[in-house]
Amino acid sequence: MHELSTHAANHAPPQSFLRKYVFSVDHKVIGKQYYGLGLLAVLIGMVLSWLMRIHLVWPNFAIPGLQWLSSAGAPGGVITPEYYLQLMTMHGTLMVFFVLTNVPFAGFGNYFLPIQIGAEDMAFPRFNMMSFWVTFVGFCVLVAAFFVGDGPPLSGWTAYAPLSAIPGSGPGQATGQTLWAISIATFCIGQLLGSLNFITTTLDLRTKGMTLMRMPLCTWAWFITSCIGLLAFAVLLPACILLILDRVAGTSFFVPSNLVVSDQLVNLSGGSPLLWQHLFWFFGHPEVYIAILPAAGIVSHILVNSYRRPLLSHKAIIYCMMAIGFLSYMVWGHHMFLSGMNPFSALVFSFPTLVITIPATILVLIWIGSLYGANLQINSASLFALGFISMFVSGGVSGFFLAQPSIDVYLHGTYFVVGHFHMVMGVAAIFGMFAGTYFWAPKMFGRMMNETWGKIHFWGTFVGTYCIFMPFHYLGMIGNVRRYSAFVDDYLQVPQPVSLLGLHFSVSPIEVHEFISIAALFTGAVQLIFVYNLIYSRFKGTPAPENPWQGTSLEWATSSPPPWDNFGGRLPVVYHDPYQYGIEGASGDFVMQNSSEHIQTVREDKKVI
């Protein structure tokens, strides 16, 4: 192994407890902090989804203790319709911002991006620390909404104006909504600082020999995602500033004229509710890719390792991710087909929405096609990576339907959409996170995770998620509206004929809901296995070797966990493309990027399956 001695590290080794674990500038500690924050947020978000599912099918069930959280929202533990919406808002906001953005992108990205490009730290370590703590403040402000006034806002994670702009429009719409807007604005600042760091680090701090095309696919995904995030959060921030001004300073950017709320004429006028939707979704759609691209990158990185062969094309994956990132800015209007936007612009947004499925399909074909001739290693990480493909395809296919304005008119307000985005964006990204955790926990914590528990966790989660989200599509197609807090004495009680796998039977939609709720409780409980496995392995797991998965990229070229300056003061030199698995003539099954071994490399264009 040839190594190059370099100049002094970016910063001195931390001494005090506070500088080492709390206000640390070390990207690895910051990555773990993001991961921990995401874990906390996902647990809260999951419990909220449980509460919602329980209320949906057993509306009079008293949840013990909930009255202490909100005596008005859940008198005697029974959730009111308004409180259901408040829980829904918090579930969406926590999951989208503090889980799907935080863990696959900010968490793993912070930890592994500098290591994978052979750097000692991020380009601006202090900004990096600020980025986390700003995000943490945003999280605290958001969660504080549970405990002040009449609870969190009820306007959904999209906070549509004018509902979100009028303090008197419902429970939680006064203090709660203001806290929400401040929290999200703060979150934007944190993400902008993070993106700035990611981009600069990738461009400037690559080690000797690490060309752009030699970066691993997850590094590419984080890089592209940070480019998307830089522009997307730079638009959500102004939107939140304008919303805050509407709420506290008496301006009228989003409140239309002659608006009557609670039988009272609102004294603001002239604003445009559509303006909020445009600004929000201009951020909101790229946000979908901010959640999914890092997961796609992580999954590519893990799959190629468990296939023990290179993917069909390294470059095609990179170009497809770039294409997805670029197109993600042209499709935001497909969230607004029913908003009263000009119907002709619906057509304009429909076309790129269909086009964006092409690079996404190419990604899937490469992942699946590369299985040919692979020597697949089945472990928890690769199972979750394969599960990601399954979720991504199942959720993506329903996207084809929603991309057509004429079909979306029917489906938009139904559970079909809930099933679609939970699978393609939510669960798929979560599968990417699980895959990343099983794969990288040995590096991050220095101990292996338990494989048996990991596999049980996978099968429970995989089956459970299908049981939850597939029936949603069915409910949507029979016209079951979303966002309603409970369905009693209505059409959902009437049995409907169903044909499934050759079986003919009749079932009422509310029974389908009951099935979903039970599946949600079960799947949530399965996650406790993961939490147990993570905590137990952290302290009692088998100590991890330097390279437990026989990987090729630079994170496996240092100890587990890496020293504070990643490579012990001597940066590695890179001689090879990232995924040299199963190369003929090499001394082993794989050749690491920093190995000086001379191998016969096959050029991309000569590669044949």
Partner 1 sequence: MPHGLFMATTLQAPPTVKLPGPGSLRRVILRDSDAPSTGIWIALAAITMTFAAFTSAMLVRQGSANDWRHFSFPIILYFNTAVLFASSLTLQIGRRRFSRFDTERHGEARPTITALYGTLALGCTFVFAQYAAWQQLRSEGLYLSSAPSSSFFYVFTALHALHVIGGVLGLVYVIRKLHRGVLRTNTFAAASQYWHFMGLLWLYLLVLLRTRI
The interface with partner 1 within residues 561-600 (CB under 8 A) comprises: 573, 575-576, 582-584, 589, 595-600
- What is d(CA 33, CA 21) in angstroms, rounded to the nearest whole number? 9
In the region spanning residues 318 to 377, those forming contacts with partner 1, defined by CB under 8 A, are 372-375
Q: Which residues contact 542 (CB under 8 A, 6 or more apart)?
A: 447, 448
Q: Binding partner 1 by CB under 8 A: which of 43, 144, 148, 241?
A: 241
Is 543 strand, coil or helix? strand
What kind and span of H or E run contains 61? none
Residues of this chain, 372-401, that bind partner 1 according to CB under 8 A: 372-375
Helix pair 428-445, 451-477: axis angle to 10 deg: 160
Rounded least distance, CB 361 to partner 1, Å: 22
Which C-beta is closer to partner 1: that of 237 or that of 424? 237
Of 237, 417, 425, 520, which lies in the binding site for partner 1, with binding defined by CB under 8 A? 237
| Contact between 278 and partner 1 per CB under 8 A | yes
Q: Is 16 in the site for partner 1 (CB under 8 A)?
A: no
User: Cβ of residue 573: shortest distance to partner 1, in angstroms?
Assistant: 7
Q: Distance (Å, rounded) from C-alpha 164 to C-alpha 156?
A: 9
Candidate ranges 74-82, 251-259, 458-466, 502-510; the one touching partner 1 (CB under 8 A): 251-259
330, 335, 361 from 355: Cα distances, Å: 10, 16, 10
Q: Which of 50, 180, 282, 530 binds partner 1 (CB under 8 A)?
A: 282
Contact 168/79 with Cβ under 8 angstroms?
no
* Lookup: tokens for 57: 């099918």
Phi, psi of 489 (to 5 degrees): 50, 45
Nearer to partner 1, 451 or 597 (CB): 597
Q: Helices 273-307 and 108-116: crossing angle, nearest 10°?
A: 50
CA distance 82 to 70: 12
Cis peptide before 256 (omega within 30 of 0): no
Give me the residue label for tokens 């399954």. Answer: 390
Considering the rule CB under 8 A, would residue 269 count as an interface residue with partner 1?
A: yes
Question: Interface with partner 1 includes 167 (CB under 8 A)?
Answer: no
Q: Which stretch binds partner 1 (CB under 8 A): 102-110, 284-292, 306-314, 353-361?
A: 306-314
Q: Which of 434, 467, 478 is nearest to 453 (CA)?
A: 434
Nearest approach in angstroms of CB 219 to partner 1 is 15
Number of other CB atoms surrounding residue 426 within 10 Å: 24
Pick from 308, 455, 482, 538 the residue near partner 1 by CB under 8 A: 308
Which of 159, 242, 299, 320 is close enough to bind partner 1 by CB under 8 A?
242
**Applying CB under 8 A, what is the total number of residues that bind partner 1?**
75
Contact with partner 1 (CB under 8 A) among 252, 328, 353, 533: 252
What character string, x for contact with partner 1 (CB under 8 A) and - otherwise, covers 175-214? -----------------x--xx--xxx-xxxxxxxxx--x
